[in-house]
Structure formats: C-alpha cells, structure tokens
A and B are shown apart, each in its own frame.
Chain A
Amino acid sequence: MPAVTMTVNGVSRSADVEGRTLLVDFLREKLQLTGTHVGCDTSQCGACVVHMNGQSVKSCTCLAVDADGADVTTIEGLANGADLHPMQKAFREHHGLQCGFCTPGMVMSAIDLVNRNPSPSEGEVRHWLDGNFCRCTGYHNIVKAVMAGADAMGGGS
C-alpha cells in the first residue's frame, strides 16, 4: 500500500492507503474529518468539496495518492477557534443552510469563487454553484450568503 503525506488544515498527516482510496474516504475515515460529506457517486453534488493547494476540488473524484504532497483545507480548517471565516459567518447570517449536509461543500466552493472573482454578480454565483446541490434552501439564501461573504472577505483572501 502506498504511503501518502499531505498537509491537512495546517498539519502534516501520513497514512498508508490503497491505491484506489478516494481523498474523501482518506479524510473521513483515516483522519476522522467527517465535515466533508458524500452525497453522490457521479461527481455532481459537491458535498465533498475541499481545497487542494488553494483551489476547490471534489474530493470524491480525486485519489488520496493524487493529493500526496498537497496542502489540503477542509471545512474543519476554516475557522480560527471560535472565530468563523467570513464566508461561514455569512452563511449563518443569511440562513444559507438548513440541514447542513451540503454546507461544507458550498462554503468551500464559495470561498474558491471569491478567491478567483472577488465581487461576483448574482448570476456568476449561481453559475459557479452549478456543481453544488442543495435540496433544502432553494439556493436563494445561499446566493445571498455568498455575495455577503465575498464582501466580507474584502475581495478574496
């Protein structure tokens, strides 16, 4: 079994994994970082989005070995103690979550959008979130939250 080493939320983590182990399973099962979710098996729902080297990836569509040497951030790595990331705060403020299952992926995806496009329009937000399903919110408040989060991030971070 290949060994992989990656930095996850600022901490170096190593483990032996099978070649076929998905990054999401590595995170959830080896590292018990269960904030990253699995909602589908066709790479469409986005519940599994994490950041790899600063960019959003669907961790269900990426092998753990492909993340060898990478810098990975999950939803658990965003807040600074009790101090939430501005995007997390914006989701809370604007009721951008209900059951919370899509939420980690939404937040991670939204931060990547703002990093690329500091002041996205509503249409750009909706377009960017094409790969993230939410069955609870109808997206209305998610879109509001992402735009407010973008403002609060002051044009990307």
Chain B
Amino acid sequence: MSGNGSNGTGFIGASLKRKEDARFLTGRGRYTDDINLPGQLYAHLLRSTVAHANLGSVDTSAAEAAPGVQAVFTGPDMEDVGGIPTGWLIHSKDGSPMVEPKHPAMAIGKVRHVGEIVAIVVAETRDQAREAAALIDIDYQELPAAASLEAARADGAPLVWDEAAGNLCYDWEVGDRAAAEAAIDGAAHTVSIDVVNQRLVPNAIEPRAAIGNFDPTTGEYTLYTTSQNPHLIRLLLGAFVLGLPEHKLRIVAPDVGGGFGSKIPHYAEEAILTWTAGRLARPVKWTSDRSEAFVSDTQGRDHISTATLGFDEDGRFVGLKVSTQANLGAYLSTFATCVPTYLYGILFAGPYTTPAIYCEVEGVFTNTVPVDALRGAGRPEATYLLERLVDKAAAATGIDRVDIRRRNFIREFPYQTPVALQYDQGDYDATLDLALEASDWDGFEARRNEAASRGKLRGIGISTFIEACGIAPSAVVGSLGARAGLYEVGSVRVHPTGSVSVFTGTHSHGQGHETTFAQIVAETLGVDFEAVDVVHGDTNAIPFGMGTYGSRSLAVGGTAIYNAVQKVIAKGRKIAAHLLEASEEDIEFADGNFTVAGTDRSKSIGEVALTAYVPHNYPEGLEPGLEETAFYDPLNFTFPAGTHVAEVEVDPETGEVELVAVTGADDVGRIINPMIVNGQLHGGLAHGIGQALLEHCEYDDEGQLVTGSYMNYTMPRAGDLPNFNINHNTTHCTHNPLGVKGVGEVGSIGVPPAVINAVVDALSPLGVTHMEMPATSERVWQAIQAAQAQD
C-alpha cells in the first residue's frame, strides 16, 4: 500500500529500515544479562528434581557455610508474602469459581513439578552460588505423579492439589449446548475427530534473567527482568506478592530477546530476586541457563479434544460441538486460565456461518511445568481442530476442500458469532482467491504426478481462518473474569525544538516498535522519522501500560499513540491560532503545518512547539508545554484473517516429510511497515511449522521432562524451512483510527492445519485419514505401515 496517513507524508506504508538494528548488529543491545550493578551478587535457584513429593527436611547449613555465600533462603522464609497471582478468574458451568490454590514463590511443604524452586543461594560469584546449592540436602518424600491429562483425569489419580477433586481447576463452557446438539442430531451428515494439540516449549533464544536491587535510603526496589509487560509485572509483584506501592517499585524490561508469550507471566523468580535484594540490600542477579528454562519457562498448548461437526447435504455447517481437556500444569500462571477458554472456545466460528456452536473445556492440574500463552495462545488450538474437521467433512462428502470452505464463509458484516465474538469486517473470499492463485492450487495435480515419478507422495493442504487479536476491551474482558483492564497508554512529548519522544506501555522484543510507532508519529505529526524516538520498557519512564501480547501492540498501543498525537495537534491548533491571529476553527493541520484555511499563512509544528515552551506570546489560560498522554481502550477485538496453503512431499520409504512450499494470503489490516509485517508473518509461520512437523514437549509417567534440552526438543532450523510466499489482501479494521488489526500470531495460528492437511492429503492414496502433530518421520512411517497392513 502507499502511504496514506492523515497528513500524507508517506511514512505509513513504507518499509523503513529499523531504528533498533544498529545497536543489535554491533553488539550494543542491552539485554538483562548484559547489565551488571555495582556490588552485585549472584543467585542460583535450586529446583526440584522430582515432579511430586512432600518436602521433608531441607538442610541448607553446608551451603550457608560454603565460600562466598551470602544467604540461603527457602520457601518458609517467604511464607508471609502473597502468592503468585493469576490474572483471570474462570467460572465453571455451575457458576462456581475455579479452584485457585495459593502459589508460593518457593515450595512450602510440597513440590508439584520438576523445576519448582526450592531454595535460592546467593553468593559473590555465579559458580560459588551453583556449587553451594549442590550442598543443600533435601528429603523428597516422593508421591505418585499425575504427569499428563490422561493420568490426571483417571479414576484415583494422584491429586496435585487436595482442594481440586479430579485435578479439575474448572469445567467451563461457551455457546448453546442444546442448540448445537440438536443441530448435529438433525444434520444430514456428521464428522467427528479426536485431536491432540501437543505441548510446546516456547524457547525464546534469550533465556530469562532478573536482577533485583534495593536502595535502603529511598526504600525503592528495582527489578530488571526479561518481560513483555513491565507495568503488569509491577502491578502483580507490587500489589499481590510483595505489597510494595508503585512509587517504590521500578520494573525495567530492557532489550528482550524474544518472548512468544513465555515472558508475559509474572514469575516466582521475579518475586524472589526482588525480595532477596531487599533482605540483603545488594543487587542480586539470576540468569537462567537453557536446561533450567526447559523446566521453568511456562509451556504452551497441551490439549486433548473431541469434536463433532454436523452439516447438510450441500456441505453447509449446521452445528459444532467441542469437548476439550486443557493441561494447566501444576500452578496457575498469569494467563493460564484464560488461554484455553476465552482465547479458545470463542474462536470456533472461524470464518464460517455455523449457526450453533458449543465448546466445553476442563482445565486440569498436572505435575508439570505451568502452561501459559504461547504465540497464538488458544487460537492455534481452535483453528487446528476446526480446519482438520472441515477437511474431514470434505473427505466424507466428496465436496472439494476449497468449495466446502467457500460455501460456509461469512460474507455479511458485522457478524455476530454464536460464541460471543462480533466480527467487524473481513473478506475471506479475497484471501482464499489470492492464496489459490499464489500457490498455483490448480496446477497441483501435475506436481503430484511429477513427484510420484520420483517415488514421492506429494500433498497440498489449506486452512482458512480468523483470529481475535488486539486484546482487549476492558469492560468485555472484565465481565469474563479478567482481573485487569486491557487498554494501552501512549505519551507524545514534543520537545522545544520539535523533536519527539514517544512513550509506550507496550514492549518490543523483536516486533520493531521503535520503528513502526515512529512511523505513525512522523506521519500524523508531520515531522521527520529521524526526529522521533520511542521509549519503552521502564515503569519510571512510561506513564502506564499493559504490555505486549495477543497481537495488541499496534492495534491498542499504536492507537493510544495516535490519539495522543491528535491531542498534541488539538493543543497546537490553539497555539497556532493565537500566533496567526485567526480563530481556532479556521486552522487546518497537514504535513506538520498549521495553516489558516484558504491562506498561505502558517506555523510549523516546530514553531508551535517552541512557542509552547517559550510562551511569551501565548493564548490566555493555556498551559505551556506540548506533551499529551492517551489511554486507549479498544471497542472490540480485531479480526485478522487469511488462507494458508502448504505443500509437502513424503518419502514413503522413510516417512520423512519435506515442506516444499508455504503460501500465505493474509488480511492483517492496514500495514504500517510491510517489511516488519512480513517478518512477523515469517516468524509465526516458522513457529506453526515447528508445531506441525518438529516440536513436541514430552514428560514420562513420573513427570520427568524427556525433552529437556535442544538435544531432544527439535527446534526448526534454517534447513527445515522453505522460503515463504507471503501475499496480502487488506481490509481495514473499522473501530480503530489506524485501521490496523495485528500480525504477530497469524502464522502460528493459520499454518499448522494447512501442513497437517497436506500430509494427510499426501498419504490419502494409502488410506491414511489422520495424522497427529508433530508429523515426524517416525509417525508418518508408522502410519504408512499401519495403512499398508490393512490392505
């Protein structure tokens, strides 16, 4: 798209190179572990090696006496502080609140997953802390573990929490059960599916780290932390855990090396490090190593579902019913409870007009690492299930896969789904058409035949999807159980000489906000891109904010900045009117100039800014200065949508799946920086492909993590992925002034079912009808063997 911002300066829509790159490319990024404070001590966190045990004695005496050790603390030392809170209260079908056990910062009396923190050892050096920790003698009185959904829901299962019978946290529902069941009962055809959405490890490449500090002269605590949302951490840590007022608690999230959801939660480590720094009145630093990250970063997905779709003779969907069990892990992380409910069940309309939908979800405690948001968070799980079902429906009826989707598309907007959401806008045919053309869908049979001549099974798969992003309207989420508002804050400070500092409550950990937000301000304020800098990640610098997740930074945070600019312009108009001796109503603003309508008399934003700070000739009663803040609470979610197509070749001898082509046709709303948007799509696609083909987090029956390092957890590497064919068809969001929707999660939501549908398509000549993720060569090979054995 061309630049068509309100002032036409062309910054919006341009692929400007990123402001943040120079520091990252020269080694001058400043990540948490790069920061060292004078007098800093180092912490080692001793973690449980067993999944479920009563804690007998914890003998720390030898560790305390070890060289360099300054302190050792265990759970009971922190017993008086609050539990690590959960951000969302879910109610069960019967109206009862979820079971919400207290989550102590360090284990007290019991450990409930491998990796749970039992003690902190603080020493002069990292090695001293680690070596001293090895001297702590813990009497683990082991208990049987409930290490999976099946084990936790089995009769007589070990209980993770005594108060949670059957290990059930909640039994939630959305939609009209009776209507959905009646529609399915009366349907001409039905298809059903059982799917597992496997557990994943987020694996941001920067491991988490934290530095706690305390200044006894001011009573101020500072926490440097690898977080996507510093103000949220301040709120949870200050108000709920340590009881510190906001003005005595500063959270700094400096450069952060990827998050993907795993750096949203308020972690126990943050509370422990802050508290310990206070006790010792010295800075204390902790940096996770990767093995530790595998058992302490929140993990993602982990659903088992069964679903039935009813449809009429023409393939029109009439009813959908979904029953899901969602693994929450041992403790309730910040967004753990809402991800498999309000970010999942309400997605089941997808882009289709299915009139009756019902989804029920059991949230289940297990003796595993807590589960929380991971890129897409609930929406990939819903989309995968739905798009596998749609392919099954096509196979059952013989209706073409593309055709059955098209027959069911929503075409009238706004559209109220039967599961709470109201879509404002979309054009699903357009993205479908674009994807078919860009992927040469019609030419596929020739490619299949050519592959067959080489002994390969080639398949093509499609998914058409929507997502709900830009979370979220505070009143709506509040009524659904959220314990915070989900608005965002932007501040725009025009300095006396016309340069601009922008303060945002969102946080950039790869998304390029310093560039995109500067483009918005440069365009709307009519100043040079180089004159705008964006500040984020420090609660002492930024008025407030809720942070970055749910593809909300641009739609919510960008809008807050845009609104703050409008306030600046409104004030500037008053100043300009005074200087130009015109009435305010006659002043027009464009390209950075305030002009008296119909004349060439004007004042630039720079002149107005200088006047605002040197107000010798100034409107009576107007405050000096040119700085405005806006809080923006969105009116609705945004609804990016698209079509993804994947093409694979399977080697029938080995089961190896080669992903040969991936095509995306996406409607992510108005695009501010196409280069950055495409980068976000690429990253999301890689994440989704990782889930479809490679990644799988597994525990054994004792709750030991089997895939606890990069040796056995398969991360996508450069050689595993093709180039991506990205295409855009853009409709503008109707309820924010920028028309933007969000892009960070699109790939991980849309592409997994396309890849699996392609694998199933490739194997369909052999009679294979289903494939679980990840479609590893072993799994595919076994499916081939099983199918051949049946012949």
List residues of chain B with CB within 8 A of the CB of A35.
26-29
Q: Which of A39, A47, A100, A102 has the most CB of B within 10 A?
A: A100
Counting CB contacts under 8 A, is A34 at the interface? yes
A33 to B684, CA, bound (A): 31
A142 to B717, CA, bound (A): 12
Counting CB contacts under 8 A, is B258 at the interface? yes
Counting CB contacts under 8 A, is A2 at the interface? no
Q: Which of A51-59, A64-72, A127-135 contacts B (4 or more CB under 8 A)?
A: A127-135
Closest-by-CB residue of B relative to A97 is B24
Nearest CB of B to A102, in Å: 5
Nearest CB of B to A137, in Å: 6
A33 to B204, CA, bound (A): 22
List residues of chain B with CB within 8 A of the CB of A140.
682, 721, 723-724
Nearest CB of A to B578, in Å: 42
List residues of chain A with CB within 8 A of the CB of B723.
122, 140, 143
A35 to B23, CA, bound (A): 9
Counting CB contacts under 8 A, is B21 at the interface? yes
Counting CB contacts under 8 A, is B512 at the interface? yes
Check A34 against B205 for contact (C-beta < 8 Å): no
Check A101 against B258 for contact (C-beta < 8 Å): yes
Residue from the list A36, A39, A95, A100 in contact with B255, Cβ < 8 A: A100
Interface size range of chain A in the complex = 35 or more
Residue from the list B26, B30, B291 in contact with A41, Cβ < 8 A: B291
Check B510 against A84 for contact (C-beta < 8 Å): no
Counting CB contacts under 8 A, is B203 at the interface? yes
User: Chain A 68-110, CB within 8 Å of chain B: the 1/0 string?
Assistant: 0000001110110000100010011101011111111001000
Residue from the list A44, A75, A93, A98 in contact with B512, Cβ < 8 A: A98
Check B710 against A40 for contact (C-beta < 8 Å): yes
Residue from the list A44, A75, A130, A142 in contact with B27, Cβ < 8 A: A75
Are A40 and B290 CB-contacts (below 8 A) given A92-B22, A97-B24, A101-B205?
yes
A88 to B28, CA, bound (A): 13
Are A133 and B685 CB-contacts (below 8 A) given A35-B28, A36-B27, A92-B22?
no
Check B27 against A42 for contact (C-beta < 8 Å): no
List residues of chain A with CB within 8 A of the CB of B203.
135
A137 to B260, CA, bound (A): 12
Residue from the list A37, A107, A125 in contact with B25, Cβ < 8 A: A107
User: Chain B 683-702, CB within 8 Å of chain A: the 1/0 string?
Assistant: 11111000000000000000
Check B682 against A138 for contact (C-beta < 8 Å): yes
Check A100 against B29 for contact (C-beta < 8 Å): yes
Counting CB contacts under 8 A, is A141 at the interface? yes
Closest-by-CB residue of A relative to B28 is A35
Counting CB contacts under 8 A, is B484 at the interface? no
Check A88 against B34 for contact (C-beta < 8 Å): no
Counting CB contacts under 8 A, is B409 at the interface? no
List residues of chain A with CB within 8 A of the CB of B512.
98
Check B258 against A136 for contact (C-beta < 8 Å): yes
Closest-by-CB residue of B relative to A128 is B718
Residue from the list A39, A79, A95, A125 in contact with B205, Cβ < 8 A: A39
Check A138 against B26 for contact (C-beta < 8 Å): no
Closest-by-CB residue of A relative to B686 is A138
Nearest CB of B to A7, in Å: 17
Check A92 against B21 for contact (C-beta < 8 Å): yes
List residues of chain B with CB within 8 A of the CB of A132.
718
Counting CB contacts under 8 A, is B386 at the interface? no
Counting CB contacts under 8 A, is B140 at the interface? no
List residues of chain B with CB within 8 A of the CB of A44.
710-711
Nearest CB of B to A25, in Å: 9
Counting CB contacts under 8 A, is B256 at the interface? yes
List residues of chain B with CB within 8 A of the CB of A34.
27, 30-31, 33-34
Residue from the list A79, A125, A139 in contact with B686, Cβ < 8 A: A139
* Chain A, range 13-69, C-beta contacts under 8 Å to B: 18, 28, 32-42, 44-45, 47
Closest-by-CB residue of A relative to B512 is A98
A38 to B365, CA, bound (A): 33
A57 to B256, CA, bound (A): 25
Check B21 against A141 for contact (C-beta < 8 Å): no
Counting CB contacts under 8 A, is B703 at the interface? no
Nearest CB of B to A118, in Å: 19
A136 to B748, CA, bound (A): 12
Counting CB contacts under 8 A, is B20 at the interface? yes
Check A95 against B718 for contact (C-beta < 8 Å): no
Nearest CB of B to A88, in Å: 4
A47 to B289, CA, bound (A): 13
List residues of chain B with CB within 8 A of the CB of A33.
27
* Chain B, range 233-275, C-beta contacts under 8 Å to A: 255-258, 260
List residues of chain A with CB within 8 A of the CB of B22.
84, 92
List residues of chain B with CB within 8 A of the CB of A125.
718
Are A37 and B719 CB-contacts (below 8 A) given A92-B22, A135-B203, A135-B205?
no
Check B26 against A88 for contact (C-beta < 8 Å): yes
A134 to B788, CA, bound (A): 39
Counting CB contacts under 8 A, is B509 at the interface? yes
List residues of chain A with CB within 8 A of the CB of B291.
41-42
Check A42 against B290 for contact (C-beta < 8 Å): yes
Check B257 against A101 for contact (C-beta < 8 Å): yes
List residues of chain A with CB within 8 A of the CB of B18.
92, 95
Q: Which of B205, B679, B747 has the most CB of A within 10 A?
A: B205
List residues of chain A with CB within 8 A of the CB of B716.
138-139
Are A76 and B205 CB-contacts (below 8 A) given A92-B17, A99-B510, A137-B682?
no
List residues of chain B with CB within 8 A of the CB of A84.
22, 25-26
List residues of chain B with CB within 8 A of the CB of A97.
21, 24-25
Check A98 against B719 for contact (C-beta < 8 Å): no
Check A126 against B718 for contact (C-beta < 8 Å): yes
Check B26 against A99 for contact (C-beta < 8 Å): no
A52 to B17, CA, bound (A): 31
User: Chain B 510-523, CB within 8 Å of chain A: the 1/0 string?
Assistant: 11100000000000
Counting CB contacts under 8 A, is B676 at the interface? yes
A52 to B179, CA, bound (A): 69
* Chain B, range 521-536, C-beta contacts under 8 Å to A: none
List residues of chain A with CB within 8 A of the CB of B509.
99
Counting CB contacts under 8 A, is B207 at the interface? yes
List residues of chain A with CB within 8 A of the CB of B719.
126-127, 129-130
List residues of chain B with CB within 8 A of the CB of A78.
26
Check A139 against B721 for contact (C-beta < 8 Å): yes
Counting CB contacts under 8 A, is B651 at the interface? no
Residue from the list B29, B255, B260, B683 in contact with A138, Cβ < 8 A: B683
Are A129 and B721 CB-contacts (below 8 A) given A38-B207, A45-B710, A137-B683?
no
Closest-by-CB residue of A relative to B710 is A44
Counting CB contacts under 8 A, is B715 at the interface? yes
Check B205 against A41 for contact (C-beta < 8 Å): no
Check A142 against B679 for contact (C-beta < 8 Å): no
Counting CB contacts under 8 A, is B656 at the interface? no
Are A138 and B724 CB-contacts (below 8 A) given A36-B27, A92-B21?
yes
Check A142 against B711 for contact (C-beta < 8 Å): no
Counting CB contacts under 8 A, is B220 at the interface? no
Residue from the list B24, B207, B679, B718 in contact with A129, Cβ < 8 A: B718
Check A130 against B717 for contact (C-beta < 8 Å): yes
List residues of chain B with CB within 8 A of the CB of A47.
205
Counting CB contacts under 8 A, is B206 at the interface? yes
Counting CB contacts under 8 A, is B182 at the interface? no
Those 8 A-B pairs whose CB atoms lie nearest each other, nearest first: A35-B27, A100-B24, A101-B257, A138-B686, A99-B510, A98-B510, A138-B682, A34-B34
Jot down 10 A-B pairs with beta carbons below 8 A, ordered by A. A34-B31, A41-B289, A95-B679, A99-B204, A100-B24, A130-B717, A133-B710, A135-B260, A135-B686, A138-B684
Given A92-B25, A127-B718, 15 more pairs with CB closer than 8 A: A28-B34, A37-B206, A39-B257, A41-B289, A45-B205, A88-B25, A98-B512, A99-B256, A100-B20, A101-B31, A101-B205, A101-B258, A137-B683, A138-B716, A138-B747
